[in-house]
Amino acid sequence: MGAPVSPWSLRDTLAAGTHGALGRARDAITATEPDVRAWVEFAPEPTGPRSGPLGGVPLGVKDIVDVAGLPTRCGSVLRAGAAPAVADAAIVAAWRRAGAVPVGKTVTTEFAYFSPGPTANPAAPGHTPGGSSSGSAAAVAAGHVPLALGSQTAGSVTRPAAYCGVAALVMSRGRFPVDGVTGLAPSLDSHGVLAARVDDLAAAWAALTGEPDPAGRTPRTPRLLLCTAGPLEPPMRAALAGAAERLRAAGTVVDLLDAADVDALTAAHPVVMAYEAARERAVELAHPGSLSVPLAELLHRGAAMPETEYRAALGRVARHGEALAAATHGYDAVLAAAAPGPAPRGLDATGDPVCSRAWQALGRPAVTVPGLRDDAGLPLGLQLVGHAGHDGDLLATGCGVEQVLRA
């Protein structure tokens, strides 16, 4: 990758004033987009006054989310000739009301599943940026925009953020409507947003919701549960253990979470995902020759699945979700790995979402905390998983954790 890149802090921009932010985005994209390849379409240059707390902050939008006047192609040849959307998705409209300005559509994997697009990883050249919100993660990591929207069905926000060394929030499922979003599995799909730091996500959340800024809350001693479930690679396992020790040294309570329920949810999630995806994307399933092999296999597997298997998986989600609700009661968040390790080398795959499947099955909010590196200098991401409906509380906890780990 040519010119050096670094993420763009939203909070710093708001403090300095947003005048010129759109020009900064245009210049940054012009300078490095030929290498990063994070974008598929750009919006016309906006005109007129920009109100709202974000006051003209540039926003990238994943190309499964409608933006009025732009096509939504979903990374698929089946949507190559899509007409421009006639209206914003509900989540885009909400960000516009807060003052954000969509500047374009970012690359997504095919229908937000596994088949990658052309996007490079600005933080780890030669390694995958992850998926499916690959373009949004790369656009933030490259400093093209301070905010970009993603979506998550398995690990599509958490993992790219970890691989690209940026922060992300997966919102509680149902916090905002999904109208105008091309989904994959309705009971699993969640909105996400990516930024340079957790502190920036807190500022964005306050602007979006009108809630008090989570970063401004009076600090208190957090209580965390450490989750070491999953096939973690040695660098990630060491980073997670080291982070837990640093947090304990700073006064944070960090207890160990029994992984049995997490493992059960991780196993149930792909069953639910396959069954729902086959029905949500039934039109595309009728054209298997125009689908990637991974997506075609997912849809065929789900289409052949008996409803009884699906219902049994939903039952396991409910049962183990109740057990985890009891286990996490009285704790602020679960501390876990955001991905099994650093970004795998190459651009022909997007990595493994295993670390997020359990939490996504429950619709809980999750924050990716950047800042750690392996011995080769590749980004490693942690995630904090909060309680459903308490996204602001989770961001407040995340700001505190970020401060400790960056000290």
Q: State the catalytic residues.
A: 62, 132, 156
CA distances from 246 to 161, 228, 255, 267, 407 (A): 22, 16, 13, 31, 10
Q: What is the 3-state secondary structure (H, E, C) of 260-274?
A: HHHHHHHHHHHHHHH
- DSSP helix/strand/coil, 368: strand
| Distance between CA atoms of residues 303 and 294, nearest Å | 14
**φ, ψ (nearest 5 deg) of residue 171:** -75, 155
Measured CA to CA in angstroms, residue 263 lies from 132, 162, 272, 361 at distances of 23, 21, 15, 12
DSSP 124: S
B/e letters for 12-43, b = 16+ CB within 10 Å, e = fewer, are ebbeeebeebbebbeebbebbbebbbbbbbeb
197 DSSP assignment: S
* 8-state DSSP, 71: B
Whether the CA torsion 247, 252, 255, 260 is positive or negative: it is negative
How far, CA to CA in Å, does 385 sit from each of 88, 267, 276, 367, 395?
Answer: 29, 18, 24, 7, 10
